[in-house]
Amino acid sequence: MDEVNRRLLEIVRRHGTPTYAFDIRRLRAQVEKLRTHLPPAIEILYSLKANASLGICDVLRDCGIGADVASAGELATAVEAGFPSQRIFVAGPFKLPETLAQLRDLPAAVISVDSPSELQMLAEHRLPNPIVLRLRPDFGSQAVVAAGHESRFGFVGEDVSSCRTLVNSRAVNVIGFHVFSGSQYLNAEGIVAHLRGALAISLRAADTLGITPTLLNLGGGFGIPYASTAGELDLGTIGEELATLTQRVPTTRIVLELGRYLVAQAGWYLTSVLGHQTFQGRSAVVVDGGTHQRADMCGLCLRTKASPPLVLDASTSAVTPTDVLGCLSLPADVLTESSLLPRLEPGNVLAFANAGAYGLWSSPAMFHGSPLPAEVAFDGSEIQLMREQRPARSILDDQRHVVVRGHDA
């Protein structure tokens, strides 16, 4: 049994299941890998939407990267984790009053604006923050989860020209652009095409507005291999492209915003087998977790595509095709289909790898009145609890009774 398996079993012994466990060394290694291959001038932001756990943010802030947030809650988390405000980027389709109130105390945080209407609203609020305009890609996206020209986000060409007067009036401090064209890019060529397209539309928009951009957020969407047959992204090729790109705009601050690439492979989702079942003629087990805590399973078809879970305490090595079913009364609550697994017994612990991004934090976690699972970090042999597993009654914590008045029968 390797060291990580031992650590995961110890986490289950201490904190039970279902539990998310995060490998801090793996998180740091991922940042290191990016630093090795990308030009030093490229700044990396962590997109909290992938996983807004405070503990994860603590580690990534300590690694010296910035934060990309898209809500008041993510902004509060980034501030609490200690990201310097000039490295906090606040995006999202329209900033809510609570976000604007927080921004008053963070004048160096960069705001990404999604539409002319939002730019006008910010001008009325007289916020001094530097602003980048999010531009809708006019090029196709090769990302698995694409946000190309068909996307609802960002300025289209005529939107940019319509803002020229406002931008030049200095009522808003527009210093550059932001382009994101999708998540889970699996090959470097797709990312190179994105970077070229993003730079081209940014320079065109700068021309239209008559400004020289000092900041470009070129998105990212770097993907990770969920299937054992898939390969790692070729960062070397992306690094070379970025080196060429920075030479074209040598005085411009260039940032990338990455979520999945930084955290997915550091996360494990741990569940215990409750009992046996059959599904479509195959043997199956039911576990104490489910897709309500694994939003990442859906959309990417991970139940058929991802590597099978590890059985941390398997007693035999002979394997049979087995389905792992979640504990919801929902036909689609299937965590893995036809995985080759050893004979499972109640109490066996299954560890799903690559579960660190878009899991709990993107999930319909309250479905069936489910309490939140534990979140735990481990750094070598050190184990730290990030969030205790909540008891079933915790779902009542924030609720009030309705006073039911008698009615005439």
Smallest CA-to-CA distance from 256 within 190, 179, 203 is with: 179
141 touching ligand PLP, by CB under 6 A: no
Binding mask 328-367 for ligand PLP (x = CB under 6 A): -----------------------------x----------
Q: Which stretch binds ligand PLP (CB under 6 A): 176-184, 189-197, 224-232, 376-384?
A: 176-184
Q: Are strands 110-113 and 319-325 parallel, antiparallel or unpaired?
A: unpaired
- From 97-105, 251-259, 325-333, 397-405, give the range in contact with ligand PLP by CB under 6 A: 251-259
Q: Shortest gap between Cβ of 82 and ligand PLP (angstroms)?
A: 21
Q: Report the residue number, 255 or 350, with the smaller CB distance to ligand PLP.
A: 255
User: Whose Cβ is closer to ligand PLP: residue 300's or residue 330's?
Assistant: 300
Selected binder of ligand PLP within 180, 269, 352, 378 (CB under 6 A): 180
Q: Are 138 and 149 in contact, with CB atoms under 8 Å apart?
A: yes
407 burial via Cβ count (<10 Å: 0-12, 13-18, 19+)? exposed
Q: Are 375 and 386 in contact (CB under 8 A)?
A: yes
- Residue with smallest beta-carbon separation from ligand PLP: 259
Among 190, 259, 326, 359, binds ligand PLP (CB under 6 A): 259
Could you tell me the CA-to-CA distances from 270 to 183, 289, 368 in Å, in that order?
A: 25, 8, 19
Distances (CA, A) of 49 to 3, 35, 57, 183, 263: 30, 22, 11, 12, 11
CA angle at 232 for the pair 27 and 265, rounded to the nearest 5°: 30
Among 50, 59, 188, 286, binds ligand PLP (CB under 6 A): 50
Which CB, 171 or 300, lies closer to ligand PLP? 300
- Binding residue (CB under 6 A) for ligand PLP from 130, 137, 176, 221: 221
Size of the site for ligand PLP (CB under 6 A): 18
Residues in CB range of 391: below 8 A, 6 or more apart: 371
User: What is the closest distance, in whole angstroms, from the C-beta atom of residue 216 to ligand PLP in the complex?
Assistant: 14
The amino acid at residue 322 is T
Q: Does 74 bind ligand PLP (CB under 6 A)?
A: no
277 near 324, Cβ under 8 Å? no
Helix (H) / strand (E) element for 98: namely helix 97-103
Distance separating alpha carbons of residues 298 and 330, to the nearest angstrom? 14
Per rule CB under 6 A, is residue 261 in the interface with ligand PLP? yes
Among 11, 31, 65, 91, binds ligand PLP (CB under 6 A): 91
207: left (phi over 0), alpha (psi -120 to 50) or beta: alpha
If one asks whether residue 57 binds ligand PLP (CB under 6 A), the answer comes out as: no
Q: Answer yes or no whether residue 258 interacts with ligand PLP by CB under 6 A.
A: yes
378 forms part of the interface with ligand PLP (CB under 6 A): no
Residues that bind ligand PLP (CB under 6 A): 47, 49-50, 68, 91, 180, 183-184, 219-222, 257-261, 357
